[in-house]
Structure 1
Amino acid sequence: MSIQRQATIVSSLTACILISVKFIIGILSGSVAILASAIDSLLDLSASLFNLYALTKAEKPANFEFNYGMGKIESLAAVIEGSVILVSGIFILYQSFKKLFFGGELVYLDYSLYVMLFSLILTTMLVIYLNYIAKKSNNLVIKADALHYKTDILSNGAVLIALVLVHWTHLHIIDAIFGIGIGIYVAYSAFGILKEGVLILLDKALEEQKIESIKQIIASAPQVQSYHDLKTRQSGETNFVEVHLVFDPNISLLDAHKVADSIECAIQNLEGKWEIITHLDPYDDEGAVCNIY
C-alpha cells in the first residue's frame, strides 16, 4: 500500500473520532460552533473516503481504455474536496447567523472545552503527518487534505477561544460571532484548492520553473538546431511533455534518435514522474499545414 493511501486511511479514522466526540458534546451543550465543527468533520470523512478511492484508481497503470492512466481523478478529488470545504463554510455561516438572530445558551461548557482541546491536538498531529506525506509524494490529493485539516486547526482553535470567552463573560453571542468568522475563513480557503484542481483538469501548463528547466536541457544539446510546439501538462503525479526537435537534414535517424533519448533521460532526472514524447524534424515546420508527400 502506498504512503498516500495510508495517509487517507489515517485521515478517515481521525475524522471518525472527531465526528463522534463533537456531535455528542455539540448536541448536549447546544454550541453552534461545536456542531458546525462536527459537520465539518463529517464532510472531512466523506472527502477522505473519496480521496482513498481516487488514489486507488490513480495508482493503476495505463490500460487499453485509459491510455494515459487515471491520474486526473486525483485532481477531480481535489475539486470535490474543495467543494466540500466550501459547503462546510456556508453551513457554518448559516448556523452562526441563525444563532445570532434567534439566540441560544451553551451548557456543559467544561466538557465542550475539553473536546475542542482534544480536537485541536489531534488535528494538529494529523496535519503534521499529512504535510510530511505531501512533501514526500508531491500528491495533490494529500496537499488538499493537509490544507483542509489545516483550516480545521484554525477553526478548532477559534471555537476553543470562543468557548473560553463565553465561560468568562457569559455572553453566548460570542459563540455565533466566532462561528461567522470560522465560516468565512473556511469558505475562502476552499477557492485555492478548487482553482488548482480545475486548472489541472483543463491541462494547464507546468510551472514556469519546470518549463525553463526543460528548455535549458534542450538548448544544451548542440545537435538540436531549434525546437517548437513545446507542450506540458500534469495528470496525477505524472508530468507530460511533448516537443518537436529540429535537426540538420543530413543527420542520420539513429544519431538524431540518440540525441532525443539523451534529452528525454535528462528531463526524466528532474524532480517528479515524467512522460515525454519527442518528434524529430529535419527542418523547422512550425505552423506548417499538413502536406501529403
Structure 2
Amino acid sequence: NIVSAGMLVLALAIAARPPDPSHPYGHGKIEFLSAGIEGTAILFAALVIGVESIHELIAGPVIHDLDVGLALLAASAAANAILGVYLTRTGERTRSEALRADGRHVLADVWTSVGVIGGLFVVRLTGWIWADPWIAITVAVHVAWEGFRLLVDSLRGLMDEADGRLIESTVATLEDARESSWIDIHSLRGWRSGARRHIDFHMTVPRYFNVDQIHAIHDRVELALLDGDEHGGDVVVHFDPCDETECHHCAMSDCAIRSHPFELRQPFTIESATRPDPTAHGHPATRIDLSSAPAD
C-alpha cells in the first residue's frame, strides 16, 4: 500500500503537467500505466490468497485465537472502505484513472479483510474450520476479477480505445448547440489522455462559406465542447463542403445555391456521427501513382 500510494502521488504529479513540445497531448497516459501496475498488484494479491487457501485445504486449516486482531482488522476494514469509496468517487469526478485504480486497490484490501473476518466468524459460529479457506478462495476470485478489470481498463486507455461516454456526450452537446449551417457530422473520434479529452470529427457546411466563417464555427464548436472543463483538451474539426444531395436536410434559410427544398433536419446521433467518411483513404484525388515516376 505504501508503494502504491507513492506511485499514485508520482502519477498524479506527472499527469498534472501541461502539454509541452515533447508531449503535445499532455502527460495523462501515465495514469493508465499507474492503473495497470495497480491492477497487476491486485492480481498478485489474489494469487497469494488463492495459493495460501489451497495450501490450507491440502494441509488442513489452523484457526488461531485472534480476538484483538479481529477487532483491529474490522476497524481497518471500515476505514479502508471509506477511503476506497472516496478515492473511487473522486477519480470518477476528476476523470483520474490513477485515483480510481487506487480506490479499487484499497477496496480489494477491504474484501480481503471481510473474507478473513467472515471466515473466522463462520468457524466460530458453526465449528466447521474448512469454511475459512473456502471463503478465502471466494475472496481471491473476486479480488482477481477486480484486478483483471483494472488491468484491462488500463490497456484500453494506453491503446487509445474510443471513449463511449465521451462520444455520447460530444454528440449530445453538438446537437444542443447546433446551428443551421452545421449540416452534418461524421467520422467522430474521442479518446482521453488522463483527464484531458481529445475529439476530432468532420462537419459538413455550406460550400460557399469562406475561411473566416469556417474559423468562427470551429471556435464556437470548441467553446461548446470544452467550456468549463478545467482539464482542457483538443478539438479538431475537418470541414467538408455540402453537395446537392444534402439540400433535403439542410436548414439554411437563405441559401443561394439550394437545388432541392428543405424537408427535415436529421438529428445528430451516435450512429450517424461515428460513420466513416466515404471519401477518406482511397479517394482517387488523394492517391499517388508512382508507376510513372522517374527513377533516381
Q: Which residue of 2 aligns with 1:269?
A: 227
Matched, 1:136 2:93: yes
Deviates more, 1:159-168 or 1:139-148: 159-168
| Shift, 1:218, TM fit | 4.3
Residue 153 of structure 1 aligns with an amino acid whose one-letter code is: V
The higher radius of gyration belongs to: 2
Change (3 A) 1:132 1:188: closer
CA RMSD of aligned residues (A): 2.5
Matched, 1:221 2:179: yes
Residues 182 and 203 in structure 2, CA contact (< 8 A), matched pair in contact too: yes
- Per-residue CA deviations over 1:75-103 (Å, capped at 9, x if unaligned) read 11111111111111011100111121112
Deviates more, 1:88-97 or 1:108-117: 108-117
Residues 267 and 274 in structure 1, CA contact (< 8 A), matched pair in contact too: no
Equivalent position SS for 1:105 = coil
- Per-residue CA deviations over 1:223-257 (Å, capped at 9, x if unaligned) read 23333432211110011011233333321211111
Residue 233 of structure 2 aligns with an amino acid whose one-letter code is: W
Q: Which residue of 1 aligns with 2:286?
A: 290
Instruction: Give the one of 14, 20, 43 matched to 1:57.
Output: 14
Residues 15 and 194 in structure 2, CA contact (< 8 A), matched pair in contact too: yes
Residues 99 and 176 in structure 1, CA contact (< 8 A), matched pair in contact too: yes
Task: Give the 5 Å matches for 1:1-293.
Answer: 44-207=1-164, 209-218=165-174, 220-269=178-227, 273-282=232-241, 286-287=279-280, 288=283, 289-290=285-286
Identity %: 25
The unaligned stretches of length 5 or more in structure 2 are: 244-276, 289-296
Partner Cα separation in structure 2 for residue 210 and residue 117 of structure 1: 39
| Shift, 1:137, TM fit | 1.5
Partner Cα separation in structure 2 for residue 254 and residue 83 of structure 1: 51
Residues 231 and 242 in structure 1, CA contact (< 8 A), matched pair in contact too: yes
Change (3 A) 1:196 1:98: same
Residues 221 and 263 in structure 1, CA contact (< 8 A), matched pair in contact too: no
Partner Cα separation in structure 1 for residue 215 and residue 126 of structure 2: 76
Partner Cα separation in structure 1 for residue 75 and residue 167 of structure 2: 45
Partner Cα separation in structure 1 for residue 181 and residue 147 of structure 2: 48
Partner Cα separation in structure 2 for residue 215 and residue 109 of structure 1: 57
Partner Cα separation in structure 1 for residue 73 and residue 168 of structure 2: 47
Residue 178 of structure 1 aligns with an amino acid whose one-letter code is: I
Change (3 A) 1:200 1:254: same
Change (3 A) 1:125 1:231: closer
Residue 67 of structure 2 aligns with an amino acid whose one-letter code is: D
Q: Which residue of 1 aligns with 2:273?
A: none
Residues 46 and 140 in structure 2, CA contact (< 8 A), matched pair in contact too: yes
Residue 256 of structure 1 aligns with an amino acid whose one-letter code is: I
Partner Cα separation in structure 1 for residue 80 and residue 224 of structure 2: 41
| Shift, 1:198, TM fit | 1.1
Equivalent position SS for 2:286 = coil
Partner Cα separation in structure 2 for residue 211 and residue 120 of structure 1: 38
Bigger proportion of residues as helix: 1
| Shift, 1:154, TM fit | 2.5
Deviates more, 1:169-178 or 1:70-79: 169-178
Residue 149 of structure 1 aligns with an amino acid whose one-letter code is: V
Residue 264 of structure 1 aligns with an amino acid whose one-letter code is: E
The two structures have a TM-score, normalised by structure 2, of: 0.75
How many residues of Structure 1 are paired with residues of Structure 2 in the alignment? 248
Partner Cα separation in structure 2 for residue 198 and residue 256 of structure 1: 37
